[in-house]
Amino acid sequence: MQKLVLASNNTGKVREFQALLAPLNFQVIPQGELGIPSAEEPHHTFIENALAKARHASAASGLPALADDSGICAHVLNGQPGVLSARFAGEPANDAANNQKLIQELKGQINRGAHYVCALVFVNSADDPEPMIVQTRWYGTLIDDPKGTNGFGYDPYFFLPELGLTAAELKPEKKNAISHRGQALRELIIQLQTRSSRA
């Protein structure tokens, strides 16, 4: 199996990536297991933050690295919380507090449209001049009362009208098949396969 450092210590993300990458013979190692601290995320875009995290993890480990920067964007809030999704309510990061703040910000708003964003970056090395970059969206609406116990983050409040369920009510396999992260990883896999076949 090829070892790959995942530039995240988020247990929910680690589980999802391990499940999605296992069939490709990748051994996904969370950076925390290698003693690698989290990278700074000072940028205003998902892609720039993901690239910074991937280069940081690769430099510290000497291995290829995969990083994602993802979050939720509420349309009526001009895309907030966006890149600040994980710490919307401040430090330390807390899903319950973040959700509470977002629903409070949406109080009285008719437009509840939102989308998850996933920017995914793969680097072969810290100074890889050709990082693979994918960015995808997953559309839904935000509801006031949480439903479901699967997933993490804003999933209990992220409602999918076409399914009549929240992201937290989906079985993990279903979520991985349609989510922003699942979409991004499938696109990245195609890029990886294309590059290796032409190398």
Q: Which residues have a catalytic role annotated?
A: 69
Task: Name residues whose C-beta falls within 8 Å of residue 33's C-beta, 6 or more positions apart in sequence.
Answer: none
**7 close to 54: Cβ distance less than 8 angstroms:** yes
Measured CA to CA, the distance from residue 28 to residue 120 in angstroms comes to 15
Residue type, 71: G
18-40 burial: b if 16+ Cβ within 10 Å, else e: eebbeeeebebbbbeeeebeebe
The amino acid at residue 72 is I
